[in-house]
């Protein structure tokens, strides 16, 4: 029998202020705290997918120049929603002053792109 993973469990995210990040992700994406180690990481998530928040090195600045899409390595974390959720998310982000790019038409899906306060790139997408 061969092995096959079930799903992504979590993605590690480095942030300057874990408590501020918890509040931002709760307010902007509706993620809730699931588990906390002392002092870190703090697991937040929704729908079985989690982010593991770790404290960035002291004095770190927000990621200002993300890796180009053609570069090797991870690029962004994408969250799936429904069409109604996708439309509500755009209003929600606008009300909170979170700038985003899109919607971008991918033929079979629509996406919007934005960053958290630490410059970590995010995507919200829905499939048609």
Say whether both 53 and 88 belong to one domain: no
Q: Does residue 106 form part of some domain?
A: yes
How many domains does the chain divide into? 2
pLDDT at residue 64 tops 80: no
pLDDT in tens, 69-91: 666 777 899 999 999 999 999 99
Number of other residues whose CB lies within 10 A of the CB of residue 120: 18
Say whether both 54 and 83 belong to one domain: no
What pLDDT was estimated at residue 69?
Answer: 60
| Domain that includes residue 52, residue range | 7-58
Total-model pTM: 0.89
Give the separation between CA 32 and CA 42, rounded to whole angstroms: 10
Q: Does residue 1 form part of some domain?
A: no
What pLDDT was estimated at residue 67?
Answer: 57
Say whether both 86 and 121 belong to one domain: yes
pLDDT in tens, 25-57: 999 999 999 999 998 999 999 989 999 999 999
Say whether both 46 and 90 belong to one domain: no
How does DSSP assign 84-118, residue by residue? HHHHHHHHHHHHTT---EEEEE-SSEEEEEEE-TT
């Amino acid at each position: 029998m061969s092995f096959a993973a079930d799903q992504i469990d979590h993605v590690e995210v480095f942030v300057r202020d874990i408590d501020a990040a918890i509040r931002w992700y709760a307010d902007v994406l509706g993620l809730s705290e699931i588990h906390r180690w002392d002092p870190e990481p703090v697991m937040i998530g929704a729908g079985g997918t989690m982010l593991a928040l770790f404290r960035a090195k002291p004095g770190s600045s927000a990621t200002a120049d993300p890796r180009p899409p053609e570069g090797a390595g991870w690029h962004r974390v994408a969250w799936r929603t429904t069409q109604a959720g996708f439309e509500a998310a755009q209003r929600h982000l606008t009300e909170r002053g979170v700038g985003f790019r899109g919607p971008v038409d991918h033929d079979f899906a629509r996406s919007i792109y934005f960053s958290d306060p630490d410059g970590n790139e995010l995507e919200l997408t829905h499939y048609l």
